[in-house]
Amino acid sequence: ARPIWLDADPGFDDLTSWLMLSAAPEIELLGVSAVAGNAPLADTFENAVRARDFFGLKAPVYAGRDRPLAGALVTSQHLLGPTGLASVNRTLPPGPYPGEAGDGVQALIAAAHAHPGELSVLALGPLTNLARAIQADARVPELLREIVWMGGSSDRGNHTAAAEFNAFADPEAADLVLTSGVPFVMVGLNLTRQVIVDPDHLRTLRSWPGERAALLADHLEFYLGIRSPGRPGPMPFHDPCAALRLIYPELFTSVPAHVRVELDGTLTRGMTVCEFRVPARGVANAEVLTHAHVPESQTAMMALLRTALTE
Ligand code: BDR
Ligand code: CA
C-alpha cells in the first residue's frame, strides 16, 4: 500500500477528503496533522479527533502549528462557523476524544524518514506544518515522494480577489515549500471550481443508510447554503479534488509551471503567481492541475464516499 500523510484544517471538505482516502484501495494513511486554518488549531485538532472516532477512521491525529510563519492568524470562521465544521443541529458527539500527544510536525518528519522516497502528503490547509518540517529538517524535501496541495489558483482567488484562502493564510509557508525542491502538485481554485457538488449529490447522500451518511449530509447541506443560507446551491468541492488527484491521477490534466507566492503586494499578498513558460522563463517547481474529467471525478467521489459511509 502507498504510504500517505494527511495535513489538514478540518473543515467539512477536509473531512470529506479523509473519508474518501479511507475508502481508497492501496492507501495506508500513516497519520494526520492538524493545522490552524479554517479555525484555530484547538478546533481543527478537536474536529479531526472527534471525526476520526465518529467515522471510524483509525489514524493517529496530531496537533501541528497554531499560527502562520509570519503575520496574524487568519481563519474562515465567518463562513464556516466558530469551530470550522458546520454548526448544524446534530454535530459530532461531545468528547473527550484524546488525540496523540506528540507534535504533528515531528510526527510528519518521522514518517518521511520511515518511508524515504515513498511518502505522499495530502495537504488541505495552509502549508505551515510542511514549512516548519522543512525548516526543522532540510532532508524532508528529498525524502517525500510528493506534496499534493489544495491551495492557490492560477487565476482568481476566493479569500481576496487575488488569493486563495490556504495560500493567503500562510503565504510565507507556501513560498518556502514551493522553493524547497519537493515534488509539488497544486490543486488550485482554477481546478476545484470545475468540480461542483450540488443538491443532487445531497439527495443521493440523504438516501444512504446509517448515521455516518446522515451526519455528512447535514454538513453538506450547511456547506451548500454558505452563499445562500436556507437555499442550497452548487459549490466547488475544493479539498476532495486534491484527494482524488492522489487516488486517481488519471482524472486530471496538469502542466508544469514555476510557481511563487506574492508576499508583499497590498492587493495581491498570497497570490500564487504561475509562470507557465518553462523552462524559458523559469524552472518548473510544480505541476499545476488545469482540467478535470468532471463527471468521472464526481462519480469517483461519490463511490468513495458511499464505501466510506455505508460499508
Ligand atoms: C480551502 O479553504 C478552506 O476553507 C477549504 O477547506 C479549502 O481547503 C479553499 O480555499
Ligand atoms: Ca481545507
For 245-300, the pLDDT digits (tens) are 999 999 999 999 999 999 999 999 999 999 999 999 999 999 999 999 999 999 99
The residues, ordered by sequence, that sit 6+ positions from 66 with a Cβ below 8 Å of its Cβ are 36, 40, 41, 42, 73
Confidence of residue 95 (pLDDT cuts 50, 70, 90): low
ipTM tops the 0.95 cut? yes
In angstroms, what is the span from residue 37 Cα to ligand 2's centroid? 7
pLDDT at 211: 93
The atom of ligand 1 lying closest to the CA of 13 is 6
The atom of ligand 1 lying closest to the CA of 12 is 6
pLDDT at 306: 98
The atom of ligand 1 lying closest to the CA of 189 is 10
Decide if pLDDT at 201 tops 70: yes
What strands lie across the sheet with 27-34, from one edge to the other? 61-63, 27-34, 2-8, 119-123, 144-150, 184-187, 286-292, 252-261, 272-275
In angstroms, what is the span from residue 165 Cα to ligand 1's centroid? 6
Number of neighbours of residue 4 by Cβ within 10 angstroms: 26
In angstroms, what is the span from residue 166 Cα to ligand 2's centroid? 7
The atom of ligand 1 lying closest to the CA of 11 is 6
Q: Which three cell numbers stand for residue 75?
A: 481563519
Confidence of residue 79 (pLDDT cuts 50, 70, 90): confident
Task: Output the ligand 1 site: residues, CB below 6 A.
Answer: 11, 13-14, 38, 76, 124-125, 150, 158, 164-166, 238-239
pLDDT digits (tens, 9 = 90+) for 12-33: 999 999 999 999 989 999 999 9
Residue 169: nearest ligand to its CA? 1
In angstroms, what is the span from residue 179 Cα to ligand 1's centroid? 22
Per DSSP, 94 falls in state: P
Among candidate residues 78, 238, 258, 293, the one labeled active-site is 238
In angstroms, what is the span from residue 4 Cα to ligand 2's centroid? 17
pTM, entire model: 0.97
Which residue lies with its CA nearest to atom 2 of ligand 1? 165
Q: Using CA atoms, how far apart are residues 300 and 306, in angstroms rounded to an integer?
A: 10
Share of the chain above pLDDT 70, in %: 96
- Is 238 catalytic? The answer is yes
Which residue lies with its CA nearest to atom 10 of ligand 1? 165
Decide if pLDDT at 91 tops 70: no
Which of 14, 20, 38 has most ligand 1 atoms within 8 Å of CB, for mutation? 38
Give SS3 for 71.
coil
Decide if pLDDT at 97 tops 90: no
